[in-house]
Structure formats: structure tokens, C-alpha cells
Amino acid sequence: MTVTANSPRAYREVEGEREMARKTIHKRQSSALASRARRARAVAAAGSVEQALEAGSLPRFAELTLAEALVLGLLRQGVRTFVAVFGHGSTDLGEVLRVYQEAGAVRTLNVRHETAASHAAAALRWVTGEKAAVVTSIGPGALHALAGSLVAASDRLGVWYLFGDETTEDEGFNMQQIPKHEQQVFLRLCSAMGEAYCLHTPGSIATALNRGLLAVDHPHRAGPFYLLLPMNTQPARLRRFNLAELPGGNPPPLGAAADAAAYRQAAVALRKARRVVVKVGGGGRFAGPELLEFLELVDGVAVLSPLATGAIAFAHPRNMLVGGSKGSICGNYAMEESDLLVAVGTRAVCQSDCSRTGYPGVKAVVNINTERHDLLHYGRTVALLGDAALTLRELNGVLRSCKAAPRQGESAWLRRCRARRREWEAFKRKRFSTPCLFDERWKGNVLTQPAAIKAATDWARKNGVVAFFDAGDVQANGFQIVEDDRPGCTFTETGASYMGFAVSALLATAMAGKPFYGLALTGDGSFTMNPQILIDGVEHGATGCILLLDNRRMGAISALQEAQYGQVYATADEVEVDYVRLAGAVKGVKAISGGRTVAELTRALEQARGHQGLSLIHVPVYYGPDPLGGLGAFGRWNVGNWVEETQALRHRIGL
Ligand SMILES: Cc1ncc(C[n+]2csc(CCOP(=O)(O)OP(=O)(O)O)c2C)c(N)n1
Ligand SMILES: [Mg+2]
């Protein structure tokens, strides 16, 4: 009988061959799995890849898959925590992580939304400096995480993103890829947000990891790094891969600015000036001692970006607190009246410099920054390219050596600024002493946001609790109120102002090497963007409290619409939500009603703190026209129907 291609005998023969092949593959996979587990145990036992290599427990040459080389490379860089929503685009990486977790070398936190994963990883880096990687599938999951990574990009937080990607053989469309007949569309998308690399070829792994190291561990301008993992290269085998190729170490930071002429020029300009304002951005957060000396030397006052609260003590006489579109009476006065601006580590975001109209009387700028674009943002600038603290130290030395005549008592500038600060404190006090107002929607007296935030942040400060702020009125009122004396007390995500960041950030409490307790101040709008924290927080042991200030609307936007057009539109709904029951439905979450008075709220916070894990306090808050219900806005902003006037002013100032 002739054996044709589709005869029963031919079929049996082919099946037999297949079975043999399956057995061979299975045997190879079992032995590969055993060697993988051995490598994982060696790294875990030695404490690091380097030590394991040095001890010889981890052989220098190994046969491993690209996904495993990636995990070893990340371990080499101190990335041990992975926050993941797995999908068909990342199963191979998942299998590697499973084995390494079993050995105790890594930890994966599986969560329910990729944006929340990104927020948690960003918060971890921000609060503790520890690194994490966000792992997603291809397509929608990656896009969720990419959106969330706007926080890492805006606030300069080094975070790894490991995204599943389409196969490199282009055998046809992959489910969830961007449906275009083009190469590397995800890569192009990610590259617009930050630095990105596609692991198209296994041999490129060391270079990819080095690019990531430079982005994530950049000493001044860290950010997200997107590593795209094609589904067919993740399991590709690297034969005799040299583990010594995996990059490590830290990119070196800049020192003090090196330009002696610029220091002299700055000193001359500062001596001529009468009203110096020092704007401190995120880059100046840790330059407190140098700033204090500088302020005395130049008779200046400081205005802080929301990111930099605590750079100098709240009560310091030269601290004029925040300034900008929301701002404060004293901060905005100092900006408005100054004749010389010293910009320290700031990128002049619209909210903090009134869309470039913040300094109408400034004749000269001394700018200290590590980034050239930010450094030369304003005109008439003496540019000092260098680290904020180190450069200020040098500049202080130059100023001291100028031996100016000692000042007699308080200058007129400081006196006027301090009078405005007293005005601001009285303005706030008036609101804090009227903590409750009648609210139409709640049909009764409820707390105002300022009163609730003041009580909660005072409580947090007293108890060493880290406060996170979500977007909206909650955030704006928050940075107008906080009374930080040092950096690291408040984390307000004003870079991207991403609704849902604060509540998601609480997962970082479960990821940190040294545990901490977090308080997420959030609005009803922001909380419902990322309620997944209720489940993920319980699953992974988050320790913190969600303080939900519920005004039954997206209040910040209603208020903006009202201020601009006198009409509120589509920023509220009529659905009543019982958030205490909603949170209480998740086993492990302590759900508390926060009441309608400061005393009740403080009791609820104590009760929450007494609970080991995650809690949620619901507080109905006032929304309405009473000026005592908010903290006001004091600056200009290039949005809505303010655009024409703001832009005209910007060009008139011409800074
Ligand atoms: C993800 C996201 N979408 C939209 C916005 C624009 N936005 C800023 S604040 C805000 C409303 C916030 O509402 P809520 O959290 O309830 O706080 P409230 O202003 O009411 O205190 C919106 C829609 C944003 N910042 N982030
Ligand atoms: Mg709201």
C-alpha cells in the first residue's frame, strides 16, 4: 500500500514523531526549569546577582531564556518587586517570576488595574527610593500602564515598565496589537512618553538593560523606561549567555555649577536687587540648609511649589508658602512684587508660575537647574547648570566673600511679605474656625474641605503618617494648607495631577522594605477612578487609610466652570453611593463613617489607625458658593476664557 500524505498510517507516523518531540521538549524544559530554580536559589542565598557570581554559586555562563536574563538583569539593578496584571503577552515572564519568587529572590504583587500598578510603583520610588517594575500584557493593559506612567514622567520617578509586545516574525496580526500594517507601533507610542526599547533580538538584552538603567536611575531627571517584550522572544533561548554582561552601578550626578563668571554675575545681580523671590521646585526639595543661608544673604523670601513643601520649615519667617494659579496671599504677593527671581530646580509648570505671568516685575533671573531647557526657560537669565544644594553652597560662598554691609533689622521687603503671610494665616484661620456649612445635597451641615484637610493633615503630621493627595479641590486645598517642616511628609502628585494616584499609592505601603502608614486624601471622583486598591490593598497587606472627601461631584472642575463661565456643566451626577457599604463589602477593609464634625473625623482617623490594614473613612463635604467653603485662587492661568488676557500679559511682561 502506498502511503499518501493523509492516509491513516501517515497520520499515525506523524503523531508518533510529534509525541517523541513533545517528550524531548518536556525533558529539556524540566532540566531547564531545574537550572532556572538553581540560579534563583543562588541569587536569593547570596543576596545579589553580583555576590552569587563572585561566590561561583551562579555560573558565569548560562543557557537561559531571554525573559530569565531580563529578570536577572533587573535583580542586578536592585529591582525585586513586580506589580503585574499578566496576560497572554507576558506568560513567559510570569513563569520566570514564579520560579524566582519561590526561591525568595523577587516578589510579584498581582493587581487589578495597570494604571493602579503604575501609581503604586511610582509612589514606592517617590517615598522610599525603592525601584519596582510594572508588568503588563500586550495592548490594553500596556496602554493602561502607559497612561499611568505620565506620573513617573512628570514627577521624575524612575520606574520600569515591562510590556508584552507583538511577535517579531510578523506571522499575522496578534490579538490586541495596534491594527496597522506597520512595525513597532507600540515602541513609537512609548517613545513619545519616555525612553523605550523593544527586545526584538535576544542578544540585545544587556544594551536594553543599560538604557533602562540610565533612564530609571538618572540622578536628576529619572523617568519611566519601557521595555517591550515580543511574545516570541521572551522564551527564546540564549546559549552560553555571559551574566557578567548585565549592567549595574549608578549614573554619576552633576556637582555644583562650574561657571565662575556666572556666579560673579549672579552675585552682582543679587546685590542690585531689592526684592528677591526664590522659587523652589522639586529639584530644590533637599536643599533646605543651603536655601536658608541663601535667603538671609540675599534678603529673599521663598515660594514653594506644591512638590517642595517642607523644603524649609513651615513657620520660617522667610517662607511664603505656595504661589501660582491657586497659590496663597503671601506666595503670590512675593511673586507679583519681586524684582529678581531665583529659580531653584523648577520646571515652571503653569499652575506654579501663572502660565508665565507670575513675575511681572522681575528684571533678572538667576536659574539653578540640572536640565538645560528648564535652566533657560526664562529670558534675562544667569544660568547655573548644576545640583541645587551644591550650587547654592558655592553661590553662598561667593556672596559671603562680597562682604556687603550688614543689614539693620528687618528690610521693608521682608516686613511687607510677612504682613501678607499674617493675612494668609488669618484668612485660613477664619475658614478653620467655621468648619461646617449647610450643604444642599447633603441636606444638612457638613465639614468643609479646608476644615477636614486641616484636621487630617495635622493628625498625619503628629502621627508620622505619610499623606498622599489626589487631584481636584482636595489637592489644591491640600497644598494651600499643609504645614510641613521637612520633605517627605506630603506627596501631592501635581506633575500629572492624576485622579486615582493617591489611593493607588497606598499599595506602596505593602511594597516598601521598611513599612510605613499612608493616608490618601481623595475626592469621590478620584477614588472611583481606582477603587481596585480596596482589593489589592487587602490582598498584599497595605497599611493605610483612604480619606474620601465626598462632595458628590468633580468639584474642582465645577468651580472652574463657575469661575469662568458662570455655569456648571456635566461635572456631577445624581447617583447616591454609600461608600461605607461599598468599602465594607471587601473583607479586610475597615469602613468608617467620618461624621460631620472635626471631632468625629479625628476619632475616625484614630479608629482607622488602630486597624492593622486598610481602611476607608467617608466624609461628606460642602460644595457651594460660600467663600468659607474653600481657600480661593490668587493667580492667573492660561485656560478657558482667561486665555486672551493671560497671554497678552505674558507677552507684555516678556520674560
Ligand atoms: C485621570 C484624570 N482625569 C481627569 C482629570 C481632570 N480633573 C482634575 S480634578 C477633577 C475632578 C476631581 O474630582 P474629585 O476627585 O471628586 O475632587 P474634588 O475636586 O471634588 O474635590 C478632574 C475631572 C484629572 N486630573 N485626572
Ligand atoms: Mg468630588
What confidence tens digit (pLDDT) does each residue in 519-551 have?
Answer: 999 999 999 999 999 999 999 999 999 999 999
pLDDT of residue 45: 98
pLDDT of residue 1: 47
How far apart are the CA of 176 and the centre of ligand 1, in A?
29
Write phi, then psi, for 447 (nearest 5 degrees): -65, 150
Task: Tell me the ligand closest to 521's alpha carbon.
Answer: 1
- Distance separating alpha carbons of residues 290 and 295, to the nearest angstrom: 9
Q: What is the pLDDT of residues 280-339, one digit of tens each?
A: 999 999 999 999 999 999 999 999 999 999 999 999 999 999 999 999 999 999 999 999
Measured by CA distance, the residue closest to atom 5 of ligand 1 is 499
- Distance separating alpha carbons of residues 45 and 306, to the nearest angstrom: 43
- The CA distances from residue 447 to 416, 434, 551, 595, in Å, are 33, 9, 10, 9
Identify which of 200, 174, 212, 196 has the alpha carbon closest to the alpha carbon of residue 87.
Answer: 174
Ligand 1 nearest-atom number relative to CA 556: 19
Q: Is the CB of 474 under 6 A from ligand 1?
A: yes
- Distance separating alpha carbons of residues 530 and 528, to the nearest angstrom: 5
Q: What is the pLDDT of residues 607-635, one digit of tens each?
A: 999 999 999 999 999 999 999 999 999 99
pLDDT of residue 12: 77
How far apart are the CA of 496 and the centre of ligand 1, in A?
11
Ligand 1 nearest-atom number relative to CA 474: 21
- For residue 65, the SS3 value is strand
Q: Is the CB of 557 under 6 A from ligand 1?
A: yes
- For residue 276, the SS3 value is strand
Measured by CA distance, the residue closest to atom 23 of ligand 1 is 554
- Low-confidence spans in the chain with pLDDT less than 70: 1-6
Ligand 1 nearest-atom number relative to CA 550: 16
Torsional sign, CA 87, 90, 92, 93: negative
How far apart are the CA of 648 and the centre of ligand 1, in A?
28
Measured by CA distance, the residue closest to atom 13 of ligand 1 is 554
Q: Is the CB of 553 under 6 A from ligand 1?
A: yes
Contact 139, 166 (CB under 8 A): no
Mutate which of 448, 526, 558 to test ligand 1's pocket (most atoms within 8 Å of Cβ)?
A: 526
Q: Is the CB of 555 under 6 A from ligand 1?
A: yes
Ligand 1 nearest-atom number relative to CA 449: 21
Strand 518-523 to 466-469 pairing: parallel
Angle between the N-to-C axes of helices 140-148 and 114-128, in degrees from 0 to 180, rounded to the nearest 10: 30
Q: Is the CB of 630 under 6 A from ligand 1?
A: no
The reported pTM is: 0.96
How far apart are the CA of 602 and the centre of ligand 1, in A?
25
Q: Is the CB of 523 under 6 A from ligand 1?
A: yes
Q: Is the CB of 572 under 6 A from ligand 1?
A: no
How far apart are the CA of 482 and the centre of ligand 1, in A?
20
Q: Is the CB of 554 under 6 A from ligand 1?
A: yes
- Distance separating alpha carbons of residues 558 and 586, to the nearest angstrom: 31
- Distance separating alpha carbons of residues 380 and 655, to the nearest angstrom: 7
- Distance separating alpha carbons of residues 113 and 239, to the nearest angstrom: 36
Q: Is the CB of 558 under 6 A from ligand 1?
A: no
pLDDT of residue 7: 73
Q: How many residues comprise the chain?
A: 655
pLDDT of residue 159: 98
Q: Is the CB of 551 under 6 A from ligand 1?
A: yes
Q: For the chain, how far is it from start to end, CA to CA, in angstroms?
A: 93
Identify which of 446, 523, 457, 452 has the alpha carbon closest to the alpha carbon of residue 490.
Answer: 457
pLDDT of residue 29: 83
